[in-house]
Chain A
Amino acid sequence: MSSPSATPTKGKRTRGSNPPTPWSEDALTPPSRRRRTDDASTSDLQPMPTSPVTDMRSPAVQDTSLFSSPAQSRHSAPLNEIDMSSPLTYGTPSSRVEVRQRPDLGSVRKARQVDLHSDHANGPEAPASEHSVGQKLVIWGTDVNVGTCKEKFQRFLQRFIDPSSTDDENAGLDLNEPLYMQKLEEINVVGDPVLNVNCEHLQSFDADLYRQLIAYPQEVIPTFDMAVNELFFERFPDSVIEHQIQVRPYNALKTRNMRNLNPEDIDQLITISGMVIRTSQLIPEMQEAFFRCQVCAFSTRVEVDRGRIAEPAVCRNCNTTHSMALIHNRSIFSDKQMIKLQESPEDMPAGQTPHTTVVYAHNDLVDKVQPGDRVNITGIYRAVPIRLNPRQSNVKSVYKTHIDAIHFRKTHEKRLHGLDEEAEEKLFTEERVRTLRELAAKPDVYERLSSALAPSIYEHEDIKKGILLQLFGGTRKDFSQTGRGGFRAEINILLCGDPGTSKSQLLQYVYNLVPRGQYTSGKGSSAVGLTAYVMKDPETRQLVLQTGALVLSDNGICCIDEFDKMSDSTRSVLHEVMEQQTLSIAKAGIICQLNARTSVLAAANPVESQWNPKKTTIENIQLPHTLLSRFDLIFLMLDPQDEAYDRRLAHHLVSLYYQSEEQLEEEFLDMAMLKDYVAYARSYIEPRLSEEASQALIKAYVDMRKIGSGRGMVSAYPRQLESLIRLAEAHAKVRFSDKVETIDVEEAKRLHREALKQSATDPRTGFVDISILTTGMSATARKRKEELAQALKRLIQSKGKVPTMKYQQLFDDLRAQSDVAITKDMFEEALQALTDEDYLTVTGKTVRLL
Chain B
Amino acid sequence: FTQLFKWVNNCKYLNCVNCSPDWETKVLEYFKEKLKDNEAASWVPSLNDVPVHYLKANSLVKFRCFIQDMFDPEFYMGVYETVDPSSKSKVLRSGKYKDVAECGHQVDLNTKNAVTLERQTFYCVPIPGESPWVKEISFSYSCSNPARVVPSTSYAPCRHKRSYEEDEDMETQPHKQKEQLAGPQGTTDIHGSGDPKRLETEAPSSLSNAASGCSSPLDLNFPLPGEKGPACLVKVYEEWELFKVNDILEVYGILSVDPVLSVISEDKDSSLVDPMDCTESVEEQRVHCPPASLVPRLHMLYAHRLQHNNPLLPPAASEGQSSSGFLNDVVSVRGELLGYLTHVLLGDALAAEYLILHLISTVYARRDVLPLGKFTLNLSGCPHNSTYTEQLYRVIQQLIPSSFRLGMSLHNMNNLRLVPRKDYTANRLLSGVLQLAPNTSLFLDETQLEQGQLDSTGVRNITALGNLISWQKVDYDFNYHQMEFPCNINVLIASEGKSLLPCDCHVRLQPQLAPPNLEQYISTIQVSLSPSLLNKFRIYLSLLRTLDYSISEEVTKAVEDDFVEMRKDDPQSISAEDLHRLLVVARLLSLSVGHTTLSRDRWMRAKHLETLRTNRTEQQKCVNGNEP
By a beta-carbon cutoff of 8 Å, the part of chain A in contact with chain B is 13, 15-16, 18, 20-21, 23, 31-32, 34-35, 37-39, 42, 45, 47-48, 56-60, 63, 262-263, 266, 275, 277-278, 283, 285, 307, 336, 338, 340, 342, 345, 348-358, 371-372, 383, 385, 388-390, 393-402, 454-456, 458, 500-502, 504-505, 508-509, 512, 521, 524, 639, 641, 643, 646-647, 649-651, 653-658, 660-661, 664, 671
Residues of B within 8 A of A16 (CB): 78, 115, 117
Number of B residues whose C-beta is below 8 Å from A? 89
Task: Find out whether the CB atom of B116 lies under 8 angstroms from the CB atom of A34.
Answer: yes
Q: Does B30 contact A (CB under 8 A)?
A: no
Task: Find out whether the CB atom of B276 lies under 8 angstroms from the CB atom of A15.
Answer: no
Task: Find out whether the CB atom of A399 lies under 8 angstroms from the CB atom of B75.
Answer: yes
Residues of A within 8 A of B422 (CB): 353
Distance (Å) between the CB of B110 and the closest chain A CB? 5
Task: Find out whether the CB atom of B564 lies under 8 angstroms from the CB atom of A647.
Answer: yes
Task: Find out whether the CB atom of B556 lies under 8 angstroms from the CB atom of A658.
Answer: yes
22 interchain pairs, CB-CB under 8 A: A277-B480, A345-B478, A351-B485, A353-B429, A354-B478, A355-B72, A356-B72, A383-B116, A385-B77, A389-B264, A390-B271, A395-B107, A396-B99, A396-B261, A456-B368, A500-B577, A501-B576, A646-B563, A649-B576, A650-B564, A651-B560, A653-B583
Task: Find out whether the CB atom of A352 lies under 8 angstroms from the CB atom of B370.
Answer: no
Residues of A within 8 A of B551 (CB): 654, 657-658
Q: What 6 A-B pairs have minimum CB-CB distances, sorted nearest first?
A: A351-B244, A397-B95, A650-B563, A263-B116, A658-B551, A456-B367
Residues of B within 8 A of A388 (CB): 100, 260, 263-264, 267
Residues of B477-498 at the interface with A, using a CB-CB cut-off of 8 Å, are: 478-481, 483-486
Docked complex Cα distance between A227 and B100 (Å) = 45
Docked complex Cα distance between A638 and B263 (Å) = 68
Question: Inter-chain contact count A-B, CB under 8 Å?
Answer: 235
> Assuming A13-B118, A34-B116, A646-B568, what are 4 further A-B pairs, CB within 8 angstroms?
A21-B112, A345-B483, A388-B264, A389-B264
Residues of A within 8 A of B459 (CB): 524
Residues of B within 8 A of A389 (CB): 263-264, 267
Task: Find out whether the CB atom of A356 lies under 8 angstroms from the CB atom of B101.
Answer: no
Residues of A within 8 A of B560 (CB): 647, 650-651, 654
- Known interface pairs A283-B275, A397-B80; A60-B109 also in contact (CB < 8 Å): yes
- Known interface pairs A351-B245, A653-B576; A508-B116 also in contact (CB < 8 Å): no
- Known interface pairs A355-B72, A509-B368, A654-B583; A524-B463 also in contact (CB < 8 Å): yes
| Binary per-residue interface labels of chain B (460-484) against chain A in the complex, 1 for a CB within 8 Å, 0 otherwise | 0001000000110000001111011
Distance (Å) between the CB of B61 and the closest chain A CB? 20
Instruction: Choose from A336, A504, A651 the contact partner of B556 (Cβ within 8 Å).
Output: A651
Q: Which residue of B lies closest to A652 (CB)?
A: B576
Chain B contact residues: helix, strand, loop or mixed: mixed
Residues of B within 8 A of A661 (CB): 365
Q: Which residue of A lies closest to B366 (CB)?
A: A661
Task: Find out whether the CB atom of B276 lies under 8 angstroms from the CB atom of A47.
Answer: yes
Task: Find out whether the CB atom of B99 lies under 8 angstroms from the CB atom of A351.
Answer: no
Residues of A within 8 A of B31 (CB): none
Task: Find out whether the CB atom of A45 lies under 8 angstroms from the CB atom of B277.
Answer: yes
Residues of B529-569 at the interface with A, using a CB-CB cut-off of 8 Å, are: 549-551, 556, 559-560, 563-564, 567-568
Task: Find out whether the CB atom of B563 lies under 8 angstroms from the CB atom of A15.
Answer: no
Distance (Å) between the CB of B589 and the closest chain A CB? 13
Q: Which residue of B lies closest to A60 (CB)?
A: B110
Q: Does B149 contact A (CB under 8 A)?
A: no
Q: Does B169 contact A (CB under 8 A)?
A: no
Docked complex Cα distance between A502 and B556 (Å) = 22
Q: Does B172 contact A (CB under 8 A)?
A: no
Residues of B within 8 A of A18 (CB): 78, 115-117
Task: Find out whether the CB atom of A655 lies under 8 angstroms from the CB atom of B100.
Answer: no
Instruction: Choose from A39, A350, A657 the contact partner of B372 (Cβ within 8 Å).
Output: A657
Q: Which residue of B lies closest to A658 (CB)?
A: B551
Task: Find out whether the CB atom of A345 lies under 8 angstroms from the CB atom of B275.
Answer: no
- Known interface pairs A351-B245, A388-B263, A646-B567; A508-B471 also in contact (CB < 8 Å): yes
Q: Does B274 contact A (CB under 8 A)?
A: yes
Residues of A within 8 A of B276 (CB): 47, 283, 285, 307, 336
Instruction: Choose from A34, A59, A458, A646 the contact partner of B112 (Cβ within 8 Å).
Output: A34
Distance (Å) between the CB of A529 and the closest chain B CB? 9
Q: Does B410 contact A (CB under 8 A)?
A: no
Q: Which residue of B lies closest to A346 (CB)?
A: B481
Distance (Å) between the CB of A697 and the closest chain B CB? 35
Instruction: Choose from B83, B112, B372 the contact partner of A656 (Cβ within 8 Å).
Output: B372
Task: Find out whether the CB atom of A654 lies under 8 angstroms from the CB atom of B556.
Answer: yes
Task: Find out whether the CB atom of B559 lies under 8 angstroms from the CB atom of A455.
Answer: no
Distance (Å) between the CB of A618 and the closest chain B CB? 25
Task: Find out whether the CB atom of A47 lies under 8 angstroms from the CB atom of B273.
Answer: yes
Q: Does B386 contact A (CB under 8 A)?
A: no
Docked complex Cα distance between A655 and B555 (Å) = 11
Q: Which residue of B lies closest to A640 (CB)?
A: B571
Task: Find out whether the CB atom of A650 lies under 8 angstroms from the CB atom of B263.
Answer: no
- Known interface pairs A396-B101, A650-B560, A651-B560; A35-B369 also in contact (CB < 8 Å): no
Docked complex Cα distance between A272 and B127 (Å) = 35
Instruction: Choose from A13, A37, A42, A512 the contact partner of B369 (Cβ within 8 Å).
Output: A512
Task: Find out whether the CB atom of B368 lies under 8 angstroms from the CB atom of A399.
Answer: no
Docked complex Cα distance between A454 and B246 (Å) = 27
Task: Find out whether the CB atom of A385 lies under 8 angstroms from the CB atom of B118.
Answer: no
Q: Which residue of A lies closest to B481 (CB)?
A: A345
Residues of A within 8 A of B98 (CB): 397
Q: Which residue of B lies closest to A400 (CB)?
A: B279
Docked complex Cα distance between A383 and B73 (Å) = 12
Task: Find out whether the CB atom of A653 lies under 8 angstroms from the CB atom of B579.
Answer: yes
Residues of B within 8 A of A397 (CB): 76-77, 80, 95, 98-101
Docked complex Cα distance between A836 and B43 (Å) = 93
Docked complex Cα distance between A29 and B571 (Å) = 82
Q: Does B74 contact A (CB under 8 A)?
A: yes
Residues of A within 8 A of B520 (CB): none
Distance (Å) between the CB of B504 and the closest chain A CB? 13
Distance (Å) between the CB of B581 and the closest chain A CB? 11
Q: Does B114 contact A (CB under 8 A)?
A: yes
Instruction: Choose from B114, B370, B427 the contact partner of A38 (Cβ within 8 Å).
Output: B114
Q: Does B425 contact A (CB under 8 A)?
A: yes
| Binary per-residue interface labels of chain B (430-470) against chain A in the complex, 1 for a CB within 8 Å, 0 otherwise | 00000000000000000000000000000100010000001
Residues of B within 8 A of A393 (CB): 106-107
Distance (Å) between the CB of B203 and the closest chain A CB? 31
Residues of A within 8 A of B556 (CB): 651, 654-655, 658
Task: Find out whether the CB atom of B116 lies under 8 angstroms from the CB atom of A266.
Answer: yes
Q: Does B18 contact A (CB under 8 A)?
A: no
Residues of B within 8 A of A58 (CB): 106
Instruction: Choose from B109, B112, B277 the contact partner of A32 (Cβ within 8 Å).
Output: B112
Task: Find out whether the CB atom of A262 lies under 8 angstroms from the CB atom of B118.
Answer: yes
Task: Find out whether the CB atom of A650 lies under 8 angstroms from the CB atom of B579.
Answer: yes
